[in-house]
Chain A
Amino acid sequence: MRKNDLILQTVTKVAVFIILLFSVSIFFGGHYSPGGGFVGGLMTSAAIVLLLLAYDIKTVAGILPFDYKIVLAVGLFIAAGTVASSIFFDLPLMTHAYRYFDLPLLGHTSLHSAVLFDLGVYLVVVGVTMTIIQTIGDDDE
């Protein structure tokens, strides 16, 4: 008898978006409230793991066609690039800068280059977690 996961799959379709939204909110709120790149990345991979639990590896690879090892590499590149870019302004390594911008929709906003470093951390955490889970969770081959 084949089991049918209708309830799990329907709940997953709703819950994944809530978890992803929460992870993005935790990622961008990291400067002023608890959170940041690490927890945000873990929550994003939790959403992907929920998809993997409700569906299978092939379906999820169709939904999110990423090679997570490349995601990891891109994250490391962004973080290292943010750290190294202060050299070009004759400043010590890891010197961050910020400035206020008048954005069309968001108004008077301060943009800080630490967010780019955090984005690197986020991508590295997602890449490492998903690589580990997919490698271990795979059944055969």
Chain B
Amino acid sequence: MFDLILKIALIAISLATLCLVYRLVKGPSMQDRIIALDTIGINLIAIVALTSIVLDTYAFLEAILLLGILAFIGTIAFAKFLEKGEIIERERDL
């Protein structure tokens, strides 16, 4: 029973990721693509978590936190590039 639920959840998240891939390819503006990439990262976290339940192991828990941090930093870098044109400034003009 529990296996069935896990499989249904994995399939649902895979379908959601597929819809996000559609938005990634189609997305009219750059911002849509960045949001789609960020959400794909979060769906990947869910897939890793469900897979670690299926495989009955604790070995992937670090990967979950790692993916969260990397998705966060990557999205911020993209957003800053779109807003300012440069990612790392030499000196802030205050």
Question: A-side interface residues toward B, CB under 8 Å?
Answer: 2-3, 8, 15, 19, 22, 26, 33-35, 39, 43, 46, 49-50, 52-59, 133-134, 137-141
Contact with A along B30-68 (1 / 0, CB 8 A): 000000000000000000000000000011101101100
Contact status of A43 and B69, CB under 8 A, knowing A8-B76, A34-B62, A53-B77 = yes
- Give me 20 A-to-B residue pairs in the complex whose CB atoms sit less than 8 angstroms apart, sorted by A's number: A2-B93, A15-B72, A33-B62, A34-B62, A34-B63, A39-B62, A39-B66, A46-B69, A50-B73, A53-B76, A53-B87, A53-B88, A56-B90, A57-B89, A57-B90, A59-B92, A133-B88, A134-B88, A137-B87, A137-B88
In the complex, which residues of chain A have a beta carbon less than 8 angstroms from the beta carbon of B72?
Answer: 15
With beta carbons under 8 angstroms apart, the residue of B73, B88, B92, B93 that contacts A138 is B88
In the complex, which residues of chain A have a beta carbon less than 8 angstroms from the beta carbon of B3?
Answer: none
Closest A residue to B83 by beta carbon equals A3
> Shortest distance in angstroms between B22's beta carbon and chain A's nearest beta carbon?
29
> Shortest distance in angstroms between A14's beta carbon and chain B's nearest beta carbon?
12
Question: B-side interface residues toward A, CB under 8 Å?
Answer: 58-60, 62-63, 65-66, 69-70, 72-73, 76-77, 80, 83-84, 86-93
- B86→A139 contact, CB < 8 A: yes
Q: Binding site of B, secondary structure by majority: helix, strand, loop or mixed?
A: helix
Contact status of A56 and B62, CB under 8 A, knowing A3-B83, A43-B69, A49-B73 = no
- CA of A39 to CA of B60, assembled, Å: 14
With beta carbons under 8 angstroms apart, the residue of A2, A43, A52, A59 that contacts B66 is A43
> Shortest distance in angstroms between A129's beta carbon and chain B's nearest beta carbon?
13
- B84→A138 contact, CB < 8 A: no
- B62→A26 contact, CB < 8 A: yes
- CA of A95 to CA of B59, assembled, Å: 28
> Shortest distance in angstroms between A32's beta carbon and chain B's nearest beta carbon?
11
With beta carbons under 8 angstroms apart, the residue of B59, B76, B77, B91 that contacts A56 is B91
> Shortest distance in angstroms between B45's beta carbon and chain A's nearest beta carbon?
15
Q: Indicate the member of B66, B77, B84, B92 with the most A CB atoms within 10 Å.
A: B66
- B87→A22 contact, CB < 8 A: no
In the complex, which residues of chain B have a beta carbon less than 8 angstroms from the beta carbon of A55?
Answer: 92
> Shortest distance in angstroms between B80's beta carbon and chain A's nearest beta carbon?
6
